[in-house]
Amino acid sequence: MTVSAPAGARLHPWNRDFQWETPAAAPTTLSAEEVRRFGDDGFVVVEGLIDDRELASTLEEIDAFERSSEAFLRTQPDERLSIAEAGAITFTTHLVTRSAWLRRLSAHPRILGILADLVGPDVRLYWDQAVYKKPEKPRRFPWHQDNGYTFVEPQAYLTVWLALTDATAENGCPQVARGVHRLGTLRHSYVEPLGFECFEHVDEPAVAEVGAGGAVVFSSLTPHLTGPNTTDAVRKAYILQYAPVGAEVLRGDPRQEPIERVACDDPLRQYEVLRGGRPVAPPELDDRAG
């Protein structure tokens, strides 16, 4: 499959001899067509990933944590911290270290089935965060790859972008540059105040609308953005990311060789969820959490 890079796109210096590999095993949760589309386009929309009861419990848990994030931002200069901004967008991270419910959700049977289909038999949670896009200050989020923020190797890990409210073009659902994931990690530059960007424009992006309780599942290499929230309600999402066992974060100046490799195996927040294709229950929270 030939891939055309968008104008301005360049490979990350640490991205050498990358080869995209489409999972070969027969899927158990996704259909063969969904796996094919994931390989070709870099994403697939899964409606109804969690049920209404699970969705309500998830919203109740995350809303409480996010209120604290918003309140903290209101105390900061210009109501901002890095790319988070009160009234615009909040990032509430590592919730699995504070919530037993979200810890269980991270190992939801349907999510584990998708991981087995798209990542492999041995998988750890890599990252989790809630992202709430507010209507007071409508802003787009730039074209980026998740692996452009922190370079992880192997480069392809998986993002489950779980919609907690209906995600639409009007309130900032994900938009995807189809096929570009096959190039591997691209070079990113920082755009004030929006975040890292790998290129400015894509002709005819895929608009990945999804209902509450469903998810957009995409590779860490899939360039995506979210548009401004032009509605009068908050668009809410919970992002769970999973990497194969043995994944490492590379650190250093990209213009030089990496100076450090850090294993993605923090026992509190990067625990195993699949081992040999079988579910692994997340360890119980203890007094260190919270």
d(CA 14, CA 143): 20
Residue 179 near residue 42, CB atoms below 8 Å: yes
What's the pLDDT at 289?
A: 47
Residue 182 near residue 210, CB atoms below 8 Å: no
What's the pLDDT at 195?
A: 73
What are the residues facing 186 on neighbouring strands? Answer: 11
The answer for residues whose C-beta is within 8 angstroms of residue 64's C-beta and 6 or more apart is none
Amino acid at 187: R
290 residues of the chain, pLDDT tens digit each: 667 788 888 999 999 989 998 777 889 999 999 999 999 999 999 999 999 999 999 999 999 999 999 999 999 998 988 888 898 899 999 999 999 999 999 999 999 999 999 999 999 999 999 999 998 877 777 899 999 989 999 999 999 999 999 999 999 999 999 999 999 999 998 877 667 888 988 889 999 999 999 999 999 999 999 989 999 999 999 999 999 999 999 999 998 999 999 999 999 999 999 999 999 999 998 744 44
Residue 99 near residue 269, CB atoms below 8 Å: no
d(CA 153, CA 12): 13
The answer to whether the Cα torsion of 66, 68, 74, 75 is positive or negative is negative
What's the pLDDT at 84?
A: 86
Residue whose token pair is 């625990």: 271
What are the residues facing 44 on neighbouring strands? Answer: 217
In this structure, what DSSP letter does residue 210 have? B
d(CA 290, CA 278): 28
- pTM beyond 0.75, yes or no: yes
Phi, psi for 39 (deg, rounded to 5): -65, -40
In this structure, what DSSP letter does residue 5 have? P
What's the pLDDT at 193?
A: 66
d(CA 70, CA 47): 29
Total number of residues shown for the chain: 290
d(CA 129, CA 241): 9
Residue whose token pair is 């969904």: 34
Query: Nearest 10 degrees: CA dihedral of 175, 181, 183, 189?
Result: 50
SS3 224: strand
Among 283, 101, 253, residue whose Cα is nearest residue 187: 253
d(CA 37, CA 28): 16
As a whole number of Å, the end-to-end CA separation of the chain is 47
The answer for residues whose C-beta is within 8 angstroms of residue 268's C-beta and 6 or more apart is 97, 283, 288, 289
How is residue 198 written in tokens? 């790998």
CATH annotation of 37-248:
2.60.120.620
HSE at residue 214, side-chain half, CA atoms within 13 A, is 16
What's the pLDDT at 7?
A: 82
What's the pLDDT at 2?
A: 67
